[in-house]
Amino acid sequence: MNLYGVSKQINQAGDSMLQVRKDLCLGCGLCAQNCPQGAIYLFWGQAQINHNKCNSCGMCLEICPQGAIIEKIAISPKALTEEIQGMRKQTEAILARMDRLSSASPRN
């Protein structure tokens, strides 16, 4: 699972891309200062990512105090469907356990 709980299986080809949310970026420059690839720069007070230099290491995701840098993951419809089905099964299993626990606990 990645930072957002998405299975790494859906991104086997490494088809992720980091993007700056302009509505959240304050232009503080922490991402640019800490990017090991030098792929981030400030332009008109906003962070910009040079995708030719970026290796999607995720350092900027962790360092940004505003959460203004997000990871976009390319996923096929089939892989997305499989991921959703897996999450649905996990949710059903959790709910079933919760039902068993609530029925097993003594009620006053």
DSSP3 helix / strand / coil % (the chain, rounded to 5)? 40, 15, 45
Q: Are residues 85 and 62 in the same domain?
A: no
pLDDT tier at 14 (50, 70, 90 boundaries)?
A: low
Residue 48 in domain = yes
Residue 51 in domain = yes
Q: Shortest CA distance to 20 belongs to which of 54, 12, 74, 80?
A: 54
Q: Shortest CA distance to 17 belongs to which of 58, 66, 56?
A: 56
Q: Are residues 68 and 81 in the same domain?
A: no
Q: Are residues 31 and 53 in the same domain?
A: yes
Q: Are residues 51 and 70 in the same domain?
A: yes
Residue 89 in domain = yes
Q: Residue 73 — left, alpha, or beta (φ > 0 → left; ψ -120 to 50 → alpha)?
A: beta
More confidently predicted of 79 and 65:
65
pTM over 0.75, yes/no: no
* Structural domain harbouring 52: 15-74
Structure confidence at residue 16 (pLDDT): 78
Q: The domain spanning residue 34 has which CATH number?
A: 3.30.70.20
Which tens digit of pLDDT belongs to each residue from 19-65?
A: 999 999 999 999 999 999 999 999 999 999 999 999 989 999 999 99
